Amino acid sequence: MPSPEPPAIAAEILRLTASRSPGQSVSPNDVARSLAAGDEAAWRSLLGPVRRAALALAAEGRLEILRKGKPVPAAEARGVIRLRQPGGSAAA
């Protein structure tokens, strides 16, 4: 499976986060699985590109990155993270 281009990854992140209720978040794994279209072997290889696209969106102010349920600056996004639309107040 060819890897999606960064704009397609960013669009999928924004689509999935917009589909959630306000304040709800998604995992980078959810985005990678969606992009892999059910290919269980391929989604793991998409995790790095998904995280990079999420960091870029956060730097542009179009996405919030959560760590332990709290928004963190993109530069501090380490380990397990979640993604949501900006301005949310509840963690998921």
Instruction: Kindly state whether residue 1 falls inside one of the protein's structural domains.
Output: no
For the chain, the domain total comes to 1
Q: What residue numbers bound the domain in which 19 lies?
A: 6-84
Q: What pLDDT digit, counting tens, does each position of 51-80 carry? A: 999 999 999 999 999 999 999 999 889 999
Instruction: Kindly state whether residue 34 falls inside one of the protein's structural domains.
Output: yes
User: Which residues, in sequence order, are bridge partners of residue 70?
Assistant: 67
Helix (H) or strand (E) holding 13: helix 6-18
Closest CA to 83 of 7, 25, 41, 29: 25
Residues listed for the chain: 92
Q: What string of DSSP letters covers 48-83?
A: HHHHHHHHHHHHTTS-EEEETTEEE-GGG--SS-EE
Full-model pTM: 0.90
